[in-house]
C-alpha cells in the first residue's frame, strides 16, 4: 500500500498515527482526520470555484464574440481574486424589516446544498467521501435543501420581486425533480445499485450509449434545477431585476453566485458519473488515482461547458411554457422510458452485449420518436385552432 496507489488512506493513516502519538484517543483521532479530509475537499472545491468564475466569464465572452477578462495576470487569471476582494469589502446591506436570521442563513444553506453533493462523488476508485448505497437519491435530497434556501432568501428579503422570483425558482425546481428522479432510475436499473461507485464500476459500456434519451433528459432537468437559461425565469432581469437574491450584497450575493457556478460544475460531474463512465477512460483510471481525478474533472468541465453552451444559446422561456414542457412532455417521457428500459433490461438480461446495446438504443429511439410525433400532432392541432386551418394559397408561395 503506497502513497501513489491509495493516497487518501496513506495520508489518513499517517495523520492518525501522529495524533495518537500525541496521546489522543484513537476514535477522536479518526474523527479529527475525517474532519480534516472534509475541510481539505471543501477548500479544494472553493478554489476550483474561484476559477469557475474565470472560466464562465471567458466562455461567455467567446460565445458572444468578445475576449473576456484579459487585463489582470496571464489570460486575466487574477481577475476572479480581484472580484473576491471587491465582494469582501463591499458594504453589507440588510433591508429594513428583513428577517435577519433567515436572511443570513439562506446563502449558507445554498452553498451547503452544493458542497454536500461532493460527499458522494467518487473522484477515483479509492477516493470518495462515502459510498452511500443511495447516492442517486442523495442528489435529490441535497437539491431539496437548495430549494429551501431559495425560498428562505426570497421570503426573508421583504421584497415583492424576490418573493416572486423565489416562487418561480421553487416551482421550476420541484417540477423538474420528478423527471430527474425518474431518469436517475435508469443507471440504477442497468447497474443494479444506486451507489455512485457501483454505477461507475458497471459502465463497461457508457450508459449514454445504452440510453441517450435518459442522458438528454437528465441534462435538461439538471439545467432547470440550476435555474440557468433557458429556465432562468426566476432571474428575469426585465421583470424581476434579479429574482430571489435582489437584496443580497457583497459576499452574501457571492455565495449564491459561487454556489450556482459550483452547482453547474457538480451537475456536469454527476452527468459524467451517471452516463459517461465517471473516472473511467479506457483503463487509464487503473494506472493512478491522480489520473482518475484528472479524468473525472475533465469530464465534469466538459459537462459544465455544455451547460454553458445551452445557457448562452437558448432564449429564456415563460413559466407556463416551462411547466407545460415539464409536466406534459418531460415527465411522461421519463416515466415511459423508465418502464421501457426496465422491461427491455428484463428481456435482454442474458443476451450478448451487442444485442443488449442495440435493443436499448432502438427502444430509446422509438420512445423519443413516438413522444415527438405526439407533441407535433398536438401542437399542430393547437396552431390550427388558434390561427385557423392553413390557407392553401399560402402553401404555394
Applying CB under 8 A, the residues found at the interface with another protein are 27, 31, 99, 102, 132-134, 137-138, 140-141, 143-145, 147-148, 151-152, 155, 163, 167, 170, 174, 177, 194
Instruction: Give least dist CB 134 to another protein, A.
Output: 5
Q: Which is nearer to another protein, 31 or 87 (CB)?
A: 31
State the Cα torsion 212-217-218-220 to the nearest 10°.
130
Q: Which is nearer to another protein, 158 or 242 (CB)?
A: 158
Instruction: Give least dist CB 171 to another protein, A.
Output: 9
Q: Which is nearer to another protein, 137 or 297 (CB)?
A: 137
Q: Is 328 helix (H, G, I), strand (E, B) or coil?
A: helix
Q: Which is nearer to another protein, 55 or 150 (CB)?
A: 150
Question: b/e map of 284-310 (b: 16 or more CB within 10 Å)?
Answer: ebeeebeebbbbbbebbbebbeebbeb
DSSP type of residue 312 = T
Q: Which is nearer to another protein, 27 or 346 (CB)?
A: 27
Q: Could you count the other beta carbons within 10 Å of the beta carbon of residue 24? A: 15
Instruction: Give least dist CB 320 to another protein, A.
Output: 15
Output phi, psi for 127, to 5 deg.
-115, 100
Q: Which is nearer to another protein, 27 or 393 (CB)?
A: 27
Angle, alpha carbons 69-70-73 (nearest 5°): 115
Q: Which is nearer to another protein, 53 or 151 (CB)?
A: 151
Output phi, psi for 188, to 5 deg.
-65, -40
Q: What region, left, alpha or beta, does residue 278 occupy, with left being phi > 0 and alpha being psi -120 to 50 degrees?
A: left
How does DSSP assign 24-91, residue by residue? --HHHHHHHHHHHHHHHHHHHHHHHHHHHHHHHHHHHHHHTT---S-SSSGGGTTHHHHHHHHHHHS-
DSSP type of residue 127 = B
Instruction: Give least dist CB 277 to another protein, A.
Output: 23
Q: Which is nearer to another protein, 52 or 183 (CB)?
A: 183
Q: Which is nearer to another protein, 155 or 356 (CB)?
A: 155
Instruction: Give least dist CB 34 to another protein, A.
Output: 12
Instruction: Give least dist CB 145 to another protein, A.
Output: 7
Rg of the chain on CA atoms, in Å: 23
Instruction: Give least dist CB 370 to another protein, A.
Output: 24
Instruction: Give least dist CB 170 to another protein, A.
Output: 6
Surface-to-core class of residue 85, CB atoms within 10 Å of its CB (0-12 exposed, 13-18 middle, 19+ buried): exposed
Output phi, psi for 2, to 5 deg.
-110, 175
Distances (CA, A) of 241 to 150, 154, 164, 233, 259: 16, 13, 11, 11, 19
State the Cα torsion 134-137-143-149 to the nearest 10°.
-70
Q: Which is nearer to another protein, 346 or 395 (CB)?
A: 346
Instruction: Give least dist CB 212 to another protein, A.
Output: 27
Instruction: Give least dist CB 322 to another protein, A.
Output: 17
5: its cell numbers: 496507489
Angle, alpha carbons 345-137-371 (nearest 5°): 50
Q: Could you count the other beta carbons within 10 Å of the beta carbon of residue 94? A: 17
Amino acid at each position: 500500500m503506497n502513497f501513489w496507489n491509495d493516497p487518501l488512506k496513506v495520508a489518513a493513516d499517517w495523520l492518525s498515527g501522529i495524533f495518537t502519538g500525541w496521546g489522543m484517543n484513537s476514535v477522536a483521532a479518526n474523527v479529527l482526520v475525517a474532519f480534516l479530509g472534509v475541510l481539505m475537499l471543501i477548500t479544494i472545491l472553493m478554489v476550483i470555484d474561484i476559477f469557475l468564475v474565470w472560466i464562465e466569464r471567458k466562455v461567455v465572452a467567446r460565445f458572444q464574440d468578445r475576449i473576456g477578462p484579459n487585463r489582470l495576470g496571464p489570460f486575466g487569471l487574477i481577475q476572479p481574486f480581484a472580484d473576491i476582494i471587491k465582494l469582501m469589502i463591499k458594504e453589507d446591506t440588510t433591508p429594513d424589516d428583513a428577517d435577519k436570521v433567515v436572511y443570513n442563513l439562506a446563502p449558507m444553506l445554498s452553498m451547503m446544498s452544493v458542497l454536500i453533493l461532493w460527499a458522494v462523488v467518487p473522484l477515483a476508485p479509492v477516493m470518495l467521501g462515502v459510498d452511500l448505497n443511495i447516492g442517486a437519491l442523495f442528489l435529490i435530497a441535497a437539491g431539496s435543501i437548495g430549494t429551501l434556501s431559495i425560498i428562505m432568501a426570497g421570503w426573508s428579503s421583504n421584497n415583492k420581486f424576490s418573493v416572486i422570483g423565489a416562487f418561480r425558482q421553487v416551482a421550476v425546481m420541484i417540477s423538474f425533480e420528478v423527471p430527474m428522479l425518474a431518469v436517475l432510475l435508469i443507471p440504477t436499473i442497468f447497474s443494479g445499485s444506486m451507489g455512485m461507485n457501483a454505477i461507475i464500476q458497471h459502465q463497461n459500456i457508457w450508459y449514454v450509449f445504452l440510453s441517450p434519451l435518459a442522458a438528454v433528459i437528465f441534462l435538461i432537468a439538471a439545467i432547470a434545477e440550476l435555474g440557468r437559461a433557458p429556465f432562468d425565469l426566476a432571474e428575469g432581469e426585465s421583470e424581476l431585476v434579479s429574482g430571489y437574491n435582489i437584496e443580497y450584497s457583497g459576499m452574501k450575493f457571492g455565495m449564491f453566485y459561487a454556489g450556482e457556478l459550483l452547482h453547474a460544475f457538480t451537475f456536469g460531474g454527476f452527468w459524467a458519473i451517471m452516463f459517461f463512465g465517471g473516472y473511467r477512460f479506457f483503463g487509464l483510471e487503473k494506472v493512478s488515482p491522480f489520473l482518475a481525478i484528472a479524468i473525472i474533472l475533465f469530464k465534469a468541465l466538459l459537462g459544465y461547458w455544455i451547460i454553458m453552451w445551452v445557457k448562452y444559446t437558448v432564449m429564456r422561456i415563460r413559466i407556463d411554457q416551462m411547466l407545460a414542457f415539464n409536466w406534459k412532455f418531460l415527465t411522461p417521457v421519463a416515466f415511459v422510458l423508465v418502464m421501457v428500459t426496465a422491461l427491455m433490461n428484463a428481456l435482454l438480461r442474458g443476451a450478448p452485449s451487442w444485442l443488449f446495446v442495440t435493443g436499448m438504443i432502438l427502444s430509446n429511439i422509438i420512445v423519443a420518436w413516438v413522444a415527438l410525433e405526439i407533441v407535433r400532432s398536438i401542437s399542430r392541432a393547437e396552431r390550427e385552432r388558434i390561427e385557423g386551418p392553413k390557407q392553401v394559397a399560402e402553401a404555394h408561395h
